[in-house]
Homo-oligomer: A and B are copies of this chain.
Amino acid sequence: MRPPAPPPSAPGSAHAQPTAPRSAHGSGTAQRSAPRGADGPGTAQRSAPRRVVQRAVPTSADVARLAGVSRATVSYVLNNTSSVRISEPTRRRVHEAARELGYVPHAAARSLRAGHTRMVLLPAPEVAVGPLYSGLFHELHWALSRLDYTVVQFGSAGQSGDQAARAWAELRPAAVLMFSTFSARLGPLGVDVLKRSGVRAVITLAQEPTEGAHAVLMDQRTVGRCAGEHLLARGRRRIGVVVPEEPGLEAYSLPRLEGVRRAAQGTGAEITELPLAYDEASAARLAGRWRRLDLDGVFAYNDEYAMLLMRALQDEGIGVPDDTAVMGADDLMLGRLLRPRLSTVRIELPSGRELAEIVDRAVRDPGAPPEVHKVLDVTAVPRESA
């Protein structure tokens, strides 16, 4: 997160603020007022070519000066502090001055002073997540805003989960929501780093709970189980399960596979794992050896892979559902457009509001022991393909 070293190059070019040593300890308001530029007093602060007059960023002190009041008053007015009454004319002068200067408070300074933030960190998804999750993110975002949190999606491009945790901890967020199903897995160490840095709530959305964190369990195995049970109920006994070859999806695909296995337990059905990349060639290859595989049913990970596979099977002359029943998951619109219509598993994610409330509760009571919420409602949607 640190720049390795500011390009030393031109002397003074990168100087943050070569302010003259403050005359007295605490004459607080008296400096750096005028547009720095022109001929600096004494210290030659030859800023690089100032093609455009880069005005200094206005601070609350500037506002105070312009309004002819103290910085405290500015703060009171701009924050609507209720414990202090400020006369109406003063208020107006302050607002006026702020507007004129284009003053925007400095979040870092504020949170430094406050000792905490209202930031909630969400991990920016690294693999293309479906519309389901996009929708959830969006809802969650909205719900958290309503609760006066600032939502920040924070990426961890290529770092490990625990490295990422460190980077996030630097921001001192109030809460961190971690999707352990994504590639950057957060382990107990990461949770610990976050907690020690003052994060009030760490919440994982995952398959299984992480030590020390609240957990919202989205057990993908139930998706597999549901699909498996559906196929079994239709009398299928030699069942294939598509496992995408694309990296980053294992967190979903493996539990789904496991779920099918569980459903098959004790039924005498046979489960076959079928690696498949998301392209036509791969699907054609799989379809090519389909007859040898001798399967009468397949759960294709999700609707997209199901569509891909179904098309390849049909092109190969394999009847769906007669020869092989095909089952998807996620209940995408597009599955309904195929012929035969794609049978699928509908997944009910928790609502953004629910999630936001879990976050809020956890933030308000950081001492509380980790809660575990089970979510993910799952229903088979029988259509024509299975």
Contacts and interface: CB of A to CB of B under 8 A. Distances in A.
Interface of A: 1-5, 12, 15-17, 20-22, 24-30, 32-36, 48-52, 54-55, 57-58, 78-82, 101-102, 104-112, 114-119, 124-126, 128-129, 131, 134-135, 137-138, 141-142, 145, 147-155, 157-158, 166-167, 169-172, 192-193, 196-198, 278-280, 304, 307-308, 311, 333-334, 336-337, 360, 363-369
Contacts of A107: 1, 25-27, 108, 170-172
A108 to B, nearest CB: 4
Contacts of A171: 107-108
Nearest to A167: B150
Contact of A112 (B4, B32, B108): B108
A131 B134 CA distance: 11
Contact of A17 (B20, B115, B142, B152): B115
A333 B131 CA distance: 16
Given A3-B148, A57-B197, 4 more contacts: A16-B364, A24-B118, A28-B118, A278-B333
Nearest 10 Cβ contacts at the A-B interface: A26-B107, A28-B118, A27-B111, A153-B153, A51-B367, A108-B108, A16-B115, A102-B196, A21-B80, A107-B170
Q: Is the interface of A mostly helix, strand, loop or mixed?
A: loop
A157 B133 CA distance: 17
A108 B307 contact: no
Nearest to A80: B21
